[in-house]
Structure 1
Amino acid sequence: MKSLILYPLLLLCLLLACPPLRAQKGGEGKKERTESEEVEAKPLLKKAIPGKRAGKADSQLRIDLLLRMADGARSTAPNQALDYVAEALALSISGNNLRGEAVSYQTLGDINYGQALYGKAAENYRKALEVFGRAGHHDLAYPVKIRLADALEAGGNYPAALAQWEAVQQEAAATGRPEDVVRAKAATARLHAKQGKEDLALKGYQEVLKLEEQRGNDKGVIDANNNIGNLYLKQEKTQQALDYYEKSQNLAGELADDHTLTESNEMIGKVYRLEKRYDRELAVRRQSIALHLKSDNRAALNDEYLEVARLFLEQRNAGAAIPYLRKSLALSEQLGRPDRQGEAYRGLAEAYGLTGDPQAALAHYKSYVAVMDTLYRRKEKELAGVLRFSEELAGRQKKIESLEKDRQLNAKTIELLRKEQKLKEERMKKQSILIYGLGLGLAGVFAASYLLYQSARKRRIANQLLALKSLRSQMNPHFIFNALNSVNSFIAGNDERSANKYLAEFSRLMRAVMENSQHDFVPLASELKILELYLGLEHFRFREKFEYSFTVDPDVDAESVQVPPMLIQPYVENAVWHGLRYKEEKGFLLVHVTQKAHELVVTVEDDGIGREKSQALKTANQRETVSTGLRNIESRLRIINDIHRTRLSVSIEDLHPVTRSGTRVCIHIPFALQAIPA
């Protein structure tokens, strides 16, 4: 049947696809394959996407994965990140994927920025913006404009950075981004300050302060006050600077923001140092030390100890400076900060010189020289590494630039191919009439094949339903036989009253079982009623053997959920008859019904003797009977799953794997089950 459907479909696809395939032979398709093969495949990507000649969706997924990997590696392995970007860019260009091309340039700019190559970063951000513009992705272009402004500023191109930030500010205002408006204004003021235009910078920061106050952004207000204070301090207007620093200090205290408070204290300390108000500065710095000790900010504490020591040395109070210098030295060694360690040694050399101890001063000065020599060698090694990386980076940049040239050549090639395509389309129109005629004929063949397939499928389902009913009919006698054995045990014991009571409950149970057996699916509530009746009967007979708990989660809608009849009961029966009945002490049976995202889960759990011991106790006939019952259940599950294309499953495990005692059965019933129409 599959062949009957497959061959006409295959022939139809080949006929419809042949003309376009021929049209690609001479140009664009070949170019795309050549460029794809030039990029070396990465093992991880081979696992993610099988092969480079995959569909458009797979190509997009591959590009996204490459760019995510590049973004993750740009700080730790920038060379590898560049290789990922080069591959993503090649795929984007060859597939005419403008979004992938733009994001590749953006990621390349991020890599350059992280390596302090700000000129290259700005160049790649501009390329990303140009491609985003061609693709119409203006929403994706906006954050790149901010990154371009940052790169221009970091690279020292202040006029271009100023113009870019002003453009960002206008777009942020037009699109309702107040936070970016404030950010752009603050950047503009910062750039004015860097260019020596302090009046414009002051005006800009005051506008930022007003906006932050209107927005109720306390952190922004503190930053604006500090920036204004820095401008006044630069102009040596210490009182005005102190006023703004103290505003920040007071607000940080109200917010209980220790970090911001220590930043404000640092700036206030600089003012006091400039005015030689050493007592005031010492009080502020001791407050910062207390805050750093409270937050265990050891790096900041290290810096603060140095500043207090410098303060005492400036007053030529070496005795007070030395304890702070020693504390700073100890922290520097713990934190691995050779620059601070060197400053501490130099301060100790100066302090011991002031106390008249030339030997101690010389020893600490030698330590200072040794630390600085180590630091300089490290810097030289880092610089050599940067130079090597720059050379490698230049080679990879050339590779990426060659991809851009290839794209330009591709554009010309594509234009020629378009002209050629127009001529071929005219020929294809003549062929289309014949193709569509054949297609209609094949469609008829396909329709006939489909009808035959549906007929065969209905017959198969009907056969499976008959088999399912047969299995259910086998389950009922097995169940009735076990129940009648229970009645017989009461009669044999001359317990007429118990037998009568048992028979009354048994008749209710049998009515429910017979009614449910007529249906492929029944409400969960009906099946639970049977389980409750059955458990009550079994407990009545074996009450000295086990106790039980039967619970249903309140979230379960038992009236609307449909389940196959007599699916759960055999596992409950198995737990009683083959797990708990043979246990010497009193056992416990748990039946719990709950629901998960898309399925109902029924757990049948007993602490009986376990499957292994139970199997050893049975006769050969009993083993065959139980095996037949379990095979019937497995057959029902297989047929139901096949008919309904679902995943109804049962898992059985030992409750205690070490002792191999107890049994847990989990029945997973998907909510999507429904009856097949007759």
Structure 2
Amino acid sequence: MLKLGVYYRSRNFDTARYFYQRALEESQHHGYARGMVAAYAGAGVTYGMEGEYPQAIIHFEKALAKARESNIPDLVFNQYNSLGIVYKRLGDYPRSYEWYNKAMALADSLQDPLKIADNQFSIAVLHDMMDEPDKALTLLRESLKNYTKAGRPVMSNIYNSIGVILAKANNYDSALHYYFIALEMDRKVDKKEAELIVMNNIGNAYRKTKRYKEAEKILLDALHEAEKVRLNQAKADILYNLSKTYVAQRQTDLALEYALKMLDLSKSLGSFLQIGEAYEVLSHIFEQKQDNTTALKYYKDFKAYQDSLFNQNKTKEFKTQQTMFDVYKKDQELAKQELELTYLNEKALLDKKWKFMLKASSALLLFTLLLLYQRYRHRLRHNELLKSKNAVIVSQKQHIEEMNETLEKRMLRAQMNPHFIFNSLSSIQHFVTVNDKASALKYLTKFSNLLRSVLETSTGVQVTLAEEIELIKIYLELESLRFDNEFKYEIKVDQRLDIYNLEIPLLLIQPYIENAILHGLLPSAKEDKLLNVTFEATDNAMRVSIEDNGIGRKAAQVIKEKKGYKKQSLGMSVTQKRLEMLEKNKDTTAAVTVADLYRDNGEPEGTRIIINIPQPINGES
């Protein structure tokens, strides 16, 4: 059953889990502890391959508990390592390091050099991911010594990993030494995929040290081998290095030939990263050919795929954080279930004792008093257990909040205003804290719609005016909900504007609207706070008016100075640069005009911002 589980987990996850469940039931029936541990662990690996990390952790912890209960050290070691791997994939490096250290302590106590070597390699990879190359190199070299001590052939990927770390530090001669050792080992055991990876690394090192002919030779050999065994992923990497080598030698025709092959292959693989790399190389090639128009076209394609890859990574990070939240939520649920089970067991025990006491005679009064005292002691222990579990839950909640703050910091480079995203997350947290589920759900739905709309349009530089207006509407709904409908707003659109064909840069207007809300309307004591956003057509341009009846610029500046705000708004400066770029090849100047509004008696009445956007009207090119 276990072998069938291993066979099917790379083919069909559900079938693999079925066989692991069968193996678990058979092992439980026969009391076979190793079989039970292997079944739990196999199911954990299957869930991990499927990306279901909370379930993977649950099954690895069950395997660990059984291995400990049965006192099987080698299986305990394996589960420590497995949990370290899962938390590493989740990006929770501290918890990953904690599990790896437990595995190392156990391997040291067993004095098993092979287990020590395996664990040192795992920790070295973790240090490399945490940008700690010196620690990674030290552990990799110690791992080599322990593999030799254990009498086991050294894994070639250790030598290759050392070479990669040295190459990152520009120590290419030493890197090449380790690459060639790895290459010789891979060729002896006919590990073709690993061999091609090392050959590509060697070619890259030769290229970096300007040994172009040597780089060209080994990369062409690697390309020939990749085509024979149909390893397309390795082939795409080799084509990239090969085209870069010819670019460095200014052999533009050969560079163009291999770059175009890489582009076609990357598109068939659906690899955004490699498609972007191909566009970047093609931009350099046509720049060498002095074909600036084509070079610019490929550069724009490269930036578009780079932005798309960035957003994919952000989405992936968000999903990873959500998965980690699910893990901690599962931990809390398990803790709660354990408490409930303890309570039910104690309650059943007490019921049984009370029935016994009802049947006892008055002569057993002393015994009854002893039982009551025992019950009191049980409850004391139960309360202590509850306090302990609650402390763990509070600690986990604080950890989740810290992860949320980290996520918010990582989103600073995203296209939306990071300050708005942080405030939105805080608003959602506030609604959840006060148990206002309806407001939390409403706010979260609108916030996710805005995020999805931005991500769906982020691969392009321009969006239609209709899409921009829809994003602004969602944004205003969020801000209105966030500030308890403290202000009203109106959006007016000139009927002469063809909003479905007219295009403007994504989220160009939003920073000015946000500025009007935060610094104009919110500080105002008025009850009828109003924001008007108007889109109207002019000759070869579009005029956007943002008008508020807030406190005015002078009063807003006084508030800013009191609060210690000295830096210019990054969103406003970036938007000004985007407007300046729109002036190219246009007859109309892009401009932003800010006017202070006053009442008849000279008191401030608000602010009006006029944005003049150069733009062909009604879909003209």
Scaled to the shorter chain, the TM-score interval is 0.3 to 0.5
User: TM-score, normalised to structure 2's length?
Assistant: 0.44
Flag the structure with more relative contact order, 1 or 2, with Cα contacts below 8 A and sequence separation at least 6. 1
User: TM-score, normalised to structure 1's length?
Assistant: 0.41
